[in-house]
Amino acid sequence: MNKQVTRWFTSRVFLGIFCLMPLGAQAHPMWILPHEFTISTEKGQGEWITFDASASHTIFGFDKGISLDHGVTFSPDGDRNPIRSYLKGQRRSVFDLYLDQEGTYRIEAARPAFYFTSYKSGKRDTPKRMMLDKQQAKAKLPKSARDVSTLLIDLSTATYVTNNKPTDTTINTTGKGLEVKFITHPNDIVTGEEVEFQVILDGEPANGVEIEITSGGTKYRDDRASIKLKTQSDGRVVFMPEQVGPWLFLASKKNRIDTANADFTLAMRYISFEVQPE
């Protein structure tokens, strides 16, 4: 990514984050989309799958290519490997993956955690922002700064592809941070049937997590038709999809931490999955 594009992309993403609420409607959704979510191969043979990755308000429309330097693939046997090569363009990133094991693969990309300080200043209380932690921001904040708040942001996106029979190895949670546990297998979702997720925070069910689920093709409709939910004490959410095709799931959780470097943490988990016809 050249420096000019990096600055432009970063400013757009942070502007969306600054204007959070509803999160999914404001911040640029980040997603990975395989050209096939399920494949069938002969025993001992594999198949190449190609993936697009982008950040865009039009769900699965190409807008800004994203870095996959921290991209990882998890194989059905538990093996973990980096995304070894990819092409990053202005509007999307592209990579291929050879699926030679039977079962479910997880493909994930994460951005290293970063700080974002927001504040207001001037007679009009103009919202402003810095990509700095609390200590760094103190030296640069104007004397008139008000409503100063610093977020530590943890952002990742993932998708799942199954070769022949679905397996659970790659959908198990680790007990660290904000995670989404599929009660319904991500490659076994069909219209007319309930889909159930559970959101986990540090190994425990997470209450009050905001959920936004949106089907692809938003550029072709006036209403995004997003399904907005919130987890209860058991961390679970249930919905019934009516449209076939790819969907994007977002779980976001903001917590107060009040440390030397940040006031809040904000975790965002994007997951793309496919809904098949009944």
Query: Which domains are seen in the chain, by residue range?
Result: 3-114+150-275 (2.60.40.10), 115-149 (no CATH)
What does the pLDDT read at residue 27?
Answer: 55
Tens of pLDDT, residue by residue over 172-200, are 999 999 999 999 999 999 999 999 999 99
pLDDT at 21: 36
In this predicted structure, the answer to whether residue 108 has a pLDDT above a threshold of 60 is yes
**What is the pLDDT at residue 107?**
98
Summarize the confidence of residues 100-116 as an average pLDDT: 94
Identify the residue whose tokens are 């540090």.
Answer: 202
Query: pLDDT-derived band of residue 124, with 50, 70 and 90 as boundaries?
Result: confident
- By percentage, how much of the chain surpasses pLDDT 90? 82
10 pLDDT higher than 80: no
| DSSP string computed for the chain | --HHHHHHHHHHHHHHHHT-SSHHHHS--EEEEES-SEE---TT--EEEEEEEEE-SSTT---EE---TT-EEE-TTS-EEE----EE-SS-EEEEEEE-SSEEEEEEEEEEEEEEEEEEETTTTEEEEES--HHHHHTTS-TT-EEEEEEEEEEEEEEEEEESS--SGGG---SSSEEEEESS-TT--BTTS-EEEEEEETTEEPSS-EEEEEES-GGG-SS---EEEE--TT-EEEE---S-EEEEEEEEEEEE---SS-SEEEEEEEEEEEEBP-
- % of the chain residues with pLDDT over 70: 90
pLDDT of residue 5 exceeding 70: no
Q: pLDDT at position 132, please?
A: 95
d(CA 50, CA 35): 6
On whether the pTM is more than 0.85, the answer is: yes
The Cα-based distances of 51 to 24, 48, 98, 107, 189 in angstroms read: 22, 10, 11, 10, 20
